[in-house]
Structure 1
């Protein structure tokens, strides 16, 4: 399939930002004539064609704010300041997608950590209004209900995954059901019969319980002798419960998120891949480089969440939606790099 030529593709090929490409193609005189010419000729050579619907939406946005300047969308977080979530690959993948889409659409993203406001929702809302920021993306947080008092009536708000899940807004998330189902089908085709899912309870909840939903639905459709109940522990260090589960269920393949499956298997005398194979629902680059598994396509999850914010801004749809929707992004199988 031929690659779709987007502004991002043109920007990467020419070594500039997507916003620079956008401005150059509009004839913005703030871009030097030599750079403008290079970008226009490069876009034509690559076969770039503008998206007419996107052009209409961007023109409407510029008419509303009157300035044509880049707007700001607030990324609200509550993860130990600005650094905690940046240490996790899963968060960085989503953030990369958010920033890429913002650049493509002519916006910028600015983080607003709740720690800067002492957890005060009114302070956050006041700061956003003072800056004229109407777009808000609810992002990385620990499992705390800190935004229960945040009034969103004046903002276009969308949620990333299940962060700040108590706020009833449109959301984008990974397609947990599809991803686990795809992994089980893939492993089954390689000859695995008893496929076990092992993920922490808290992360299963973040998936909207779609991980276990897919695993249980899979068991329903296979012979009874091949069925293997999922292992969903509340604690991440309970090797005794794991050993008991392995003895009872006897899986020949594991689909793992976060839990130290390889170490536990070694401690109970089982070899990988001799006795049990392991594949992952990837959470970091190291796993992705060394093991097979499911890439959750988290960059696209971040981009889709940002699209929901912009959709609200372009249609002036503010506050709590009457019928909140959830966009689910499908992942894909990948073997070690």
Structure 2
């Protein structure tokens, strides 16, 4: 089985690192016999030289050890269900998920390819046939346009999904820590002096995350002693008329939401943000500080989905898992112009208090293993 022509040999890496070929081989497999510092140094040199793991070789060796025949599995399918082929690219979250998945797949030696259910008239069984006939055995189900089921021929594939929109069957999944995100928003607004913290959230969107945003909000407002049913505005969809009527009746001094148009609605109503009402988002489109809130690590979520599929492929696991696993990726709080900053001195206490909820307060630090054992 040939190595990729662009991939340096173990000998080349060994010479550059000043170690033996055996040491390079073990370092690239994260073998515990090689000290962590040495492993990281060798892996860094290997990456700089352009080394990438070869999933074909990894599967071949795995199959040989298991006494099974080898087959080529190089492409992973990214399956979407929007009304338009590239409709999923419009939202920043899904775009970042794809980037993270594509990057992780490339680093692991796979190739990620997009497949749209619309090309087969929404027929998941037909898509399964196409993928299987092309020798594609790894599938990532991107968040569905509408929550529901998907009748893929699951026994043929190693599969994972992102978020909670695939209601049946239950697959391994990767998603954001939604409950913790809502709790951190409440805790930070409360520490900044806000006492009437409202949640204005479309139930339609909350259902997509298993209602965890509302659950986290209710839990933290109860824990902070500021729970108030009147401060929860959760219609099926948000609209400016009912939203502003709620604001006038409930009199919140801070609002948590996912709807960016709320800032426009408040401005049109002559309500100053953040003086009159602070605002923070549970799903920031950007982390530039223009808006306060949670910046989901969509890049890391996409990468985690690839990890879940690649691990199954290399363990020769196919079909629905008996014990589906969920990989939860923390987002990051972003101080922004729409909410007051926690006063100095209180911020460290707050971080200690919420450390078990959401640990990524600095730049994302998603790891990128070079092998799947």
Q: Structure 1: which 4+ aligned runs deviate by more than 4 Å?
A: 19-22, 36-41, 43-47, 54-59, 224-228
Equivalent residues in 2 for 1:1-337, closer than 5 Å:
23-24=7-8, 26=10, 48-50=41-43, 60-63=58-61, 64=63, 71-143=74-146, 145=148, 147=150, 149-224=151-226, 229-237=231-239, 239-285=240-286, 288-336=288-336
User: What's the offset of the Cα at 1:144?
Assistant: 5.7
> For the residues of structure 1 that align with 2:176 and 2:225, how far apart are their CA atoms?
29
Q: Deviations over 1:60-98 (max 9, x none)?
A: 42434858x771111111113431111211110111111
Alpha carbons of structure 1 residues 116 and 215: separation in structure 2 relative to 1, 3 Å: same
User: What's the offset of the Cα at 1:21?
Assistant: 12
1:3 — aligned with what? none
> For the residues of structure 1 that align with 2:73 and 2:154, how far apart are their CA atoms?
22
Number of residue equivalences: 305
| TM-score, normalised via structure 1 length | 0.79
User: What's the offset of the Cα at 1:294?
Assistant: 0.7
Q: Deviations over 1:46-70 (max 9, x none)?
A: 953449xx98988642434858x77
> For the residues of structure 1 that align with 2:73 and 2:11, how far apart are their CA atoms?
16
RMSD: 3.5
Alpha carbons of structure 1 residues 290 and 38: separation in structure 2 relative to 1, 3 Å: farther
> For the residues of structure 1 that align with 2:4 and 2:181, how far apart are their CA atoms?
36
Structure 1 segments unaligned to the other structure (5+ residues): 1-18, 29-35
Alpha carbons of structure 1 residues 222 and 267: separation in structure 2 relative to 1, 3 Å: same
CA contact (8 A) 2:73 2:136 kept: no
Alpha carbons of structure 1 residues 289 and 259: separation in structure 2 relative to 1, 3 Å: closer
